[in-house]
Structure 1
Amino acid sequence: MYLIKKIILKNKKNFFLIAYSGGIDSTVLLYKMIKIKKNYPKIQIRAIHINHNIQSSSNQWEEHCIEVCQHSHVPLILEKINTKFKKNVEEKLRIERYKIIFNHLMPDEILLTGHHLNDQCETLILSLKRGSGPTGLSGIYSERFFGQKKIVRPFLKIKKKELEQWANHKKIKWIEDFSNLNINYDRNFIRHKIIPILEKRWPFFLKNCSRTAMICSEETKLKNILLKEKIKNFINCDTSLNFSFFKNMKKEICTALIRYWISLKNIKMPSYKLIECIYNEIIFSKTDANPKIIIKKNEIRRYKNSLYFIKTQKNINNRLIFWHNQNKKLFLPNNLGYLIQNNKGFVLPAPKKNELINIRFQFEGKILIIGREKRRKIKKIWQECNIPPWLRTQIPLLFYNNHFISAIGVFVINREMYSRETEIQKKWIISWISDIEINSNNLFLFH
């Protein structure tokens, strides 16, 4: 109880949300907070229970939590996870659970969970199994911020046996989740088959696991402090990573910078093997290569001497969109925004009455653009305009019938290329409203 009081005094917060599963860990946490509240009446406690809908007794557990909270006069939030996962069930449920919890967490409220020393040791062994480095071996943090919201784990240095002794002494009822006995799950296998053997041989093993996690955590924090300063010299104004000088630097520093750069994207950190691939296969690939590495729904791409972290876009190369009514907005696929006729955008030759206006996203061959005397391959034009390969099929290409007129916002085709008419062409103005902008290097970017 001393640890919880210490947390309350340290954070100077009066609002707490308890992640309450009904199991022994969260139940002990709930009752200890109720007891502390009697001495600190200003404290406000809420609890949240997530029904995972994966056990036949899930609804009974929910009813138990309702009964306990009603009896203790603790407001309880009830939520359900209805999505059924087939792979990585534990990990996906955990992510979904935290999403729901953080949606309910108020700005001045601290989330409390019942993670204990055994959980820390299990996490450390799982990290070893995955081949994690110091970041993974940092284990579970006792305190951590997610944006502006804070999570605290007051039992992280306490063994589960101590929580069980306290619960039995106070004659507290809790839920036994018998799925925790299923050793087909890695964590349960470690819990029931590995840790008891290690503890029997070395009674101090759990505490040393905690110590190792703390050392790795401190080393990781120190490394990140140093990298935070160093990476300022490598990040461009568009948040890409400039690797121009990597050839003159030690590989260990380069890969550390790549890892830190990716960590700024708020995604799950990829493996060391993947970082090695980025270093070897992207940074040091041939200059005319167009390599990419996919990280879930994102891609690491190279353009010139920089790495770009971009969202994977659907292939729309074969899309054809007709713009029949130019008085209305024409919405584009892939969240690329829309085209609109106005007085502020790109000045273009107007179509004739019998010409069908259509938008495409791919063109191959030579073109003659306004301001040039000779045709050039469109690939060369894209390069001159600093358009990276992954954006070239995301820029709307304007056609009248089958005649290529313009890459909106980039260049206009010389109309004499396909028409010998000398009459003065009428003009119209089109704006492309999107999340793509041009930076100081004339490079198109997604935001």
Structure 2
Amino acid sequence: MIDKIINQYKNKSFLIAYSGGLDSTVLLDQLLKIKKTKPDFNIRAIHINHNISEFSKKWTEHCKKICNFYKIPLIIENICLDKNNNIEEKLRIKRYNIIYNHLSLNEILLTGHHMNDQCETLILSLKRGSGPTGLSSMSFETTFGNKKIVRPFLKKTKKELELYAYKNNLNWIEDFSNLNINYDRNFIRHKIIPILEKRWPFFIKNCFRTTYICQKETTLLNKLLDKKINNFIKFDNSLDIKNFKNIKKELSLALIRRWVSLQKIKKPSYNNIQYIYHQMIYSRLDANPKCILGTHEIRRYKKSLYFIKKQSNLKNTILFWHKKEKNLTLPNNLGFLSQNQTGIALPAPENHQLINIRFQYEGNILILGRSKKRKIKKIWQEKNIPPWLRNQIPLLFYNNDLISALGVFVINIKNKSQNTWIISWYNNLKSTYNNSFSFS
């Protein structure tokens, strides 16, 4: 059933999302048959226990039994979430992030999604008011961060999988929570699609054709946008928007959507893109708009958009550096401070002064090389430090006296000892632009 599909990949290692249900059971059986003829074929399975059914432990034991019998390495993970609103989406996000973290670089993730699943996803996308990208639903092959998901059954219907399972005497789990129509997908599966299929027997296959057409149209559009968007993406991955007011709104929206999609996150909603366009292209220059997208956010600085990872607010954080001979680790993955001979020379503290690091300061300051004090906000602007980075830069204090924003400026301190010490900040500020995958 899937031999040709699997054989086209040079990778010989696969991780199966194994729930123990019909779809993943058929998938596992297919792969075991391929393995019999290919000794170098490697299979692992991962089972996620969602802990939302009284039978979940029995299902886990079933998966253990099957994998032990066939000598398939099995990873078991548990999810425990409150049964509140949007539990389906939260479980899906959690599940995929867990799987991603277990997936080796040389492995391909295989899932048992089939044509009926695709039809349900299409209807859910219609419910949300999605455009062509959303209506593309699931792809046969998807980039998963820097890894890959393949759905080899996407051209097969559930009836075909059931027929195969019965013919081969397979044993699988029946998850009765799939009958609960309080969940949107189950409502579509049990109440909507049967009516549509009764009226139009080829409805599911026609839905598949629609998603395929949308995928092709989206791919073509993205190729055309990629040629154009290169003129707007800067060296630091920011999007130059200074001329967006002079091009058609539809093109501006398409370029913004494409830029966001290149960040390897969940596809942004229509409302997200509209908000970015209206609030960041047309808001006043001194405004500081932002759009939150899961664990990341879009920020505007001057005439560019930046995609950044959200960081904890360090406004009230104070770190005391009592032992200068030891490195001082900074929060938010900002690296560490070290006293050495290769960093910046600063006025040395006196014996009675407490060395401390803070991340917030307000007021006027006089920096080296200047004759007049200026507001620190103006100094940040002069140094081209975006607002979201200003409270991520360690500020060196002796007692309550600001000495330096490390790597940015040094305070002009008069009538102080000429003794100096040298500090290096080994920082990871670039992680603010980190595109490491997060399924959100």
Work out whether the TM-score is over 0.5.
Answer: yes
| Residue 237 of structure 1, CA deviation | 1.1
Q: Tell me the alpha carbon deviations over residues 132-178 of structure 1, each in whole angstroms, 9 at most, x when there is no partner.
A: 11111111112233255433222222221232233334443322111
SS of residue in 1 equivalent to 2:418:
coil
SS of residue in 1 equivalent to 2:53:
coil
SS of residue in 1 equivalent to 2:92:
helix
Query: What pairs with 1:63-212 in structure 2 (closer than 5 Å)?
Result: 63-70=61-68, 73-87=70-84, 88-147=86-145, 149-212=147-210
Identity of aligned residues (%): 63
CA distance in structure 1 between the aligned counterparts of 2:397 and 2:188, rounded to whole angstroms: 63
Query: What pairs with 1:306-385 in structure 2 (closer than 5 Å)?
Result: 306-385=304-383
CA-based RMSD of the aligned residues comes to 2.6
- The one-letter amino acid of 1:213's match is T
CA distance in structure 2 between the aligned counterparts of 1:200 and 1:258, rounded to whole angstroms: 42
Give TM-score scaled by structure 2 length: 0.89
- The one-letter amino acid of 2:180's match is N
The answer for the alignment partner of 2:303 in structure 1 is 305
The 8 Å contact of residues 45 and 74 in structure 1, kept in 2 or not, is answered as no
CA distance in structure 1 between the aligned counterparts of 2:206 and 2:368, rounded to whole angstroms: 71
The answer for the alignment partner of 1:440 in structure 2 is none
SS of residue in 2 equivalent to 1:345:
strand
CA distance in structure 1 between the aligned counterparts of 2:42 and 2:29, rounded to whole angstroms: 14
| Residue 246 of structure 1, CA deviation | 0.7
Question: 5+ unaligned residues in a row in structure 1: which ranges?
Answer: 438-443
1:6 aligns with 2:4: yes
CA distance in structure 1 between the aligned counterparts of 2:272 and 2:37, rounded to whole angstroms: 52
Question: 5+ unaligned residues in a row in structure 2: which ranges?
Answer: 435-440
The 8 Å contact of residues 51 and 78 in structure 1, kept in 2 or not, is answered as no
Deviates more, 1:182-191 or 1:291-300: 291-300
CA distance in structure 2 between the aligned counterparts of 1:41 and 1:331, rounded to whole angstroms: 48
The 8 Å contact of residues 348 and 430 in structure 1, kept in 2 or not, is answered as yes
Q: Tell me the alpha carbon deviations over residues 179-227 of structure 1, each in whole angstroms, 9 at most, x when there is no partner.
A: 1110000000000000001111111111110001001111111122122
CA distance in structure 2 between the aligned counterparts of 1:445 and 1:164, rounded to whole angstroms: 47
- The one-letter amino acid of 2:421's match is W
The answer for the alignment partner of 1:435 in structure 2 is 428
| Relative contact order higher in (CA < 8 Å, ≥ 6 apart) | 2
Query: What pairs with 1:42-81 in structure 2 (closer than 5 Å)?
Result: 43-70=41-68, 73-81=70-78
Seen in structure 2, the aligned counterparts of structure 1 residues 38 and 280 have a Cα distance that, compared at 3 Å, is same
Name which one, 1 or 2, has greater alpha-carbon Rg: 1
| Residue 59 of structure 1, CA deviation | 2.5
| Residue 401 of structure 1, CA deviation | 3.0
1:284 aligns with 2:277: no
CA distance in structure 2 between the aligned counterparts of 1:114 and 1:142, rounded to whole angstroms: 11
Deviates more, 1:261-270 or 1:333-342: 333-342
Q: Tell me the alpha carbon deviations over residues 221-240 of structure 1, each in whole angstroms, 9 at most, x when there is no partner.
A: 11221222222111111111
SS of residue in 2 equivalent to 1:339:
strand
The 8 Å contact of residues 398 and 405 in structure 1, kept in 2 or not, is answered as yes
- The one-letter amino acid of 2:76's match is E
The 8 Å contact of residues 22 and 61 in structure 1, kept in 2 or not, is answered as yes
